A and B are shown apart, each in its own frame.
Chain A
């Protein structure tokens, strides 16, 4: 091999760069977090269900929330009819956070896990975070 010094340095950089994830994690498993559903309001519910199905909420809640925001604030219509035909009052603080009053154990757990930083809290505030 000619110029082996330079070629080997290059290959080491290549290998290190592409295997970054392997040596960064050092074989430490990081299973999916389980968001907590044990708030007082949810505990009291007879039928534990969100405004839509669990699978739909897990995969698509961000699009739904974005859509509901537009509907409530831009069209002034605060009633959302879900797939079960029930009418839901659109309000992050009064509807969503009524049950999910544990932002830290619910929202943040998955958001931090996948590195998402939604801008909900630029305008809204978490009523349970600090009572002034």
Chain B
């Protein structure tokens, strides 16, 4: 069900952009207005979400303790999995963000001849890491269309990505990795019953969207050729606030840019916010130093005590009249 809904949503975007990109009056909408609106939604939606998270108090230290915490000197302390210092937290976060360490520790349970066996399961980690790095490189590479003159680093990345010089224009390595990795992540949801059972439209939709973005990009580069010089003129128009829609850009380009705009606009409202969220996870970014430092609940106000002395002071006369013994006459 979620599968059909998500596929339908992505196909609807494709059809709308396909038709819209061919109507001359609507090219400005799909080439300029939609990308700007989507990008602004992304930027400010992202920052709003992060600020909103930062406003939530985290009164206790709640890091996941993936190893022995700091203890007596003869007990071996797992510095990265249970950090108690800022440096340790930085190391843990760096490994998490750059290498997906917690996903690397993923295991799989299996029944084999009556035994429950836990074994390593690295494919998810490999596909996830491959996808993220490929997508990051692809995004950086696209800056060649948004900058003039093109920074040397971006040109170098572009060259390395196409270093095998297969065909003209050359095939990018990251394109291959991207499609394989997203395909794997999608097939995993589709064919593993346990994963499929917990998959929602919000899980399928980004995958379809990414697959559609990759596919249209590859189609545009190798099959339905567009005039790349005019594409850059459009991109430069967007980046320099002098928007123009040059003539002779094929429909496939409008499909591609509308899908990318959809991804940008959808980003702050979806699971994709893990890009900001990974930095904000209290289970990762807190040092486990509960036994060394006093952590005061931020909303704590000192409680009001009513001591017996104050009580006696208040009711002194009444108590005296009733003959109740007083501590101070």
Contacts and interface: CB of A to CB of B under 8 A. Distances in A.
Interface in B217-243: 225-230, 232-233, 236-237, 239-242
Interface in B126-182: 143-148, 150-151, 154-155, 158-159, 165, 167-169
Contacts of B241: 22, 27
B168 A62 contact: yes
Contact of A115 (B46, B56, B150, B227): B150
Given A2-B58, A59-B227, A29 B168 contact: no
A66 B167 contact: yes
Given A31-B244, A115-B154, A63 B233 contact: no
Contacts of A62: 168-169
Nearest to B241: A27
A119 B166 CA distance: 11
A42 B158 CA distance: 34
A116 B169 contact: yes
Nearest to A19: B43
Interface size class of A (residues with CB under 8 A): 35 or more
B54 interface: yes
Report the 7 A-B pairs with minimum CB-CB distance, sorted nearest first. Answer: A21-B146, A30-B148, A66-B168, A32-B233, A59-B225, A115-B144, A29-B242
A46 B101 CA distance: 68
B276 interface: yes
Interface string B48-64: 00110011111000000
Interface string A58-73: 1110110110000000
26 contacts: A1-B54, A2-B54, A2-B56, A2-B58, A7-B50, A7-B51, A11-B51, A14-B46, A14-B47, A19-B43, A21-B239, A25-B146, A29-B237, A31-B236, A59-B227, A59-B228, A66-B168, A113-B148, A113-B232, A114-B145, A114-B228, A114-B229, A114-B232, A115-B150, A115-B158, A116-B228
Given A31-B233, A59-B226, A117-B155, 9 more contacts: A4-B54, A11-B50, A20-B143, A25-B146, A25-B239, A29-B237, A63-B168, A63-B225, A66-B168
B269 interface: no
Interface in A32-54: 32-33
Given A2-B57, A2-B58, A113-B232, A22 B239 contact: yes
Interface-centre pick from A10, A19, A24, A117 (highest chain B CB count, 10 A): A24
A26 B158 CA distance: 23
B230 A32 contact: yes
Contacts of A31: 233, 236, 244
A111 B237 CA distance: 18
Contacts of B58: 2
B143 A21 contact: yes
A118 B236 contact: no
Contacts of B147: 20-21, 24-25
A83 interface: no
Nearest to B236: A30
Contacts of A1: 51, 54-55
A59 B229 CA distance: 9
B91 interface: no
Contacts of A29: 236-237, 240, 242
A20 B54 CA distance: 25
B47 A2 contact: no
B298 interface: yes
Contacts of B57: 2
Interface in B88-127: none
B138 to A, nearest CB: 15
Given A1-B54, A18-B43, A55-B248, A25 B169 contact: no
A31 B276 CA distance: 35
A109 to B, nearest CB: 9
B155 to A, nearest CB: 5
